[in-house]
Structure 1
Amino acid sequence: MVQEFGDHVRDHSPPRIRTRLDDPRGLSPLGDFMLGGVDGVVTTFAVIAGSAGGQLPSTTVIILGIANLIADGFSMSVSNYLGTRARQEEIRQGRREEERQIRVYPEGERREIREIFARKGLSGNVLEKVVEVVTADEDIWVDTMMAEELHLTDVTARPMRAAITTYIAFTLCGLVPLMPFLIGLGDFHTMFLASSLLGFGTFFVLGIGKGRVLGTPLLGSGLRTLAIGGAAAALAYGAGYALRALVSL
């Protein structure tokens, strides 16, 4: 308990507080890495599991797996880039609109500020003083409206970094379950078993990594991510098996 209190004291020293405010957690590329990594393993292992269910040859697994890494990884990174750009444009548009409203009808915007802080429990002279301070600086005024009215903030991932991080994570993590087939590790059954172990292990490690960064229980985070991957693999295997049965009719 004493050690934990000491850690909290250090974490809330003025220098560390300033560091956290200057580099908010929202700017971390963890979300993009997790998005790309999990999707890379899911889609690649889905190809492998579907091929196993359909009893396709290992060369087909390699071809489809590599094609998936290239095409799906690129598609996902571009989608993440465009989505991040759209989010940034939404923020910029919201900011321009708030600035316009402040210029056109400042009294109405002051009423909104007053209502925002009144809902937080402020009243009387304290409320009026807060309204006066916030509306005295246009940047603070707009920032407050963005956060409290529109729920939009400037803390967002950079589009190019988001795309690159997603693609790298997708390729690296998606390549893991494909490795037994690339190196020709025994017969198909052996390669599929090794691929399954590597795929599930990657899911679990990604979940643990997310839990460590976010401060959530590591085991629970790892098992949740593993469960998602396992469900996707089971669906892909079942689909491959069913399609093979239909084609054989």
Structure 2
Amino acid sequence: MNPVNQQKLEQEHQPQAIAKRLAKLPKRQNISDAILGGIDGCVTTFAIVSGAIGAGFSASVALILGFANLFADGFSMAISNYEANKAQQEFADNIRQTEAEHIKQVPEGEREEIRQIFQRKGFEGDTLENIVQTITQNKALWIETMLIEEHGIQSRPPEAVKAALTTFSAFLVVGAIPLIPFLIPSFDVHQQFLFSTVLAGLMFFFIGMLKSFVFAKPIIYSGFSTLLTGGTAAGLAFLTGYILRELFGI
């Protein structure tokens, strides 16, 4: 490791630095919501455009369909994300209430659950009993421990509104990019579609690169992987539009 990075890492793991970092509530990361919204926005919008051009429709029709889909599907996706996260929050709250009631009604049984949870982690003897005693002395800590260890639920669930807004914003911003060429009247429809294809490809590759930075994946591989996914979806839409045009003589 680079000496500078090693020194920085050691400084970040000094007792005072650790205490300061742990004193802050963990921030909810919305990177996955942004990536999901961006990819789906670009795939969906460009697929609509590809299908329209493949079917032989004019640029104006492709533009209208693209923008209509952009807002409708973006809103639908944001609401779905909101409802999913809201349901997760409500589920976690329900489990908290259930565990609180169990602690009230059968405290010894709940203590035994804590004991076996940490016994499975390798603790035993006096150390195990001290852990059980420490956790069960604090009801809030007791409930949160059960929430995480028994039910596998995050103690701090996602913020539903923030997640939905992030998804919607990413969907609109990235999804609008493939539509830009159709706003340029000096291009004919084939030039507009070609330009749109290039922009969509760049967006797919850029989002893939963004994933690589966030999740420490190889940049080129991640970029091309996302590009392949988006390109395949758009290709299927174009092919579908073309086949239907030929079959029905549109």
Q: Which bracket does the TM-score occupy, shorter chain normalised?
A: over 0.9
CA-CA distance at 1:156 after TM superposition: 2.8
- Give CA deviations for 1:135-168 in whole Å, capped at 9, x if unaligned: 1111111111000000011333312211211111
Q: Match for residue 222 of structure 2?
A: 221
| TM-score normalised to structure 2 length | 0.93
Distance 1:162 1:148, change over 3 A: same
Q: Secondary structure at the match of 1:156?
A: coil
Distance 1:237 1:23, change over 3 A: farther
Distance 1:220 1:163, change over 3 A: same
Q: Match for residue 95 of structure 2?
A: 94
Q: Match for residue 47 of structure 2?
A: 46
Distance 1:217 1:156, change over 3 A: farther
Q: Secondary structure at the match of 1:150?
A: coil
The aligned runs of 1:109-148 (5 Å cut-off) are: 109-148=110-149
CA-CA distance at 1:245 after TM superposition: 1.8
Give, in whole Å, the separation in 2 of the partners of 1:20 and 1:187: 58
Q: Match for residue 190 of structure 1?
A: 191
- Give CA deviations for 1:182-227 in whole Å, capped at 9, x if unaligned: 2235111111111011001011111212221233332222222212
Among residues 18, 21, 43, which one is paired with 1:19 in the alignment? 21
More deviation, 200-209/219-228: 219-228
CA-CA distance at 1:17 after TM superposition: 6.0
Identity of aligned residues (%): 40
Q: Which amino acid aligns with 1:99?
A: A
Q: Match for residue 85 of structure 1?
A: 86
Q: Match for residue 179 of structure 2?
A: 178
Q: Match for residue 248 of structure 1?
A: 249
Residues 11 and 17, structure 1, Cα contact 8 Å, conserved in 2: no
More deviation, 206-215/135-144: 206-215
- Give CA deviations for 1:47-74 in whole Å, capped at 9, x if unaligned: 0111122121111101100101111111
Give, in whole Å, the separation in 2 of the partners of 1:44 and 1:16: 45
Distance 1:3 1:103, change over 3 A: same
Residues 11 and 17, structure 2, Cα contact 8 Å, conserved in 1: no
- Give CA deviations for 1:13-39 in whole Å, capped at 9, x if unaligned: 4436643663435x1121211111111
Q: Secondary structure at the match of 1:151?
A: coil
Give, in whole Å, the separation in 2 of the partners of 1:146 and 1:216: 31
CA-CA distance at 1:175 after TM superposition: 0.4
**RMSD over aligned Cα, in angstroms?**
1.8
Q: Secondary structure at the match of 2:115?
A: helix
Residues 102 and 109, structure 1, Cα contact 8 Å, conserved in 2: yes
For structure 2, list consecutive stretches of 5 or more residues without a partner in the other structure.
none
Give, in whole Å, the separation in 2 of the partners of 1:21 and 1:163: 28
Distance 1:216 1:117, change over 3 A: same
Q: Match for residue 61 of structure 2?
A: 60
Residues 185 and 191, structure 1, Cα contact 8 Å, conserved in 2: no
Give, in whole Å, the separation in 2 of the partners of 1:236 and 1:222: 21
The alignment status of 1:149 with 2:150, answered yes or no, reads yes
Q: Secondary structure at the match of 2:150?
A: helix
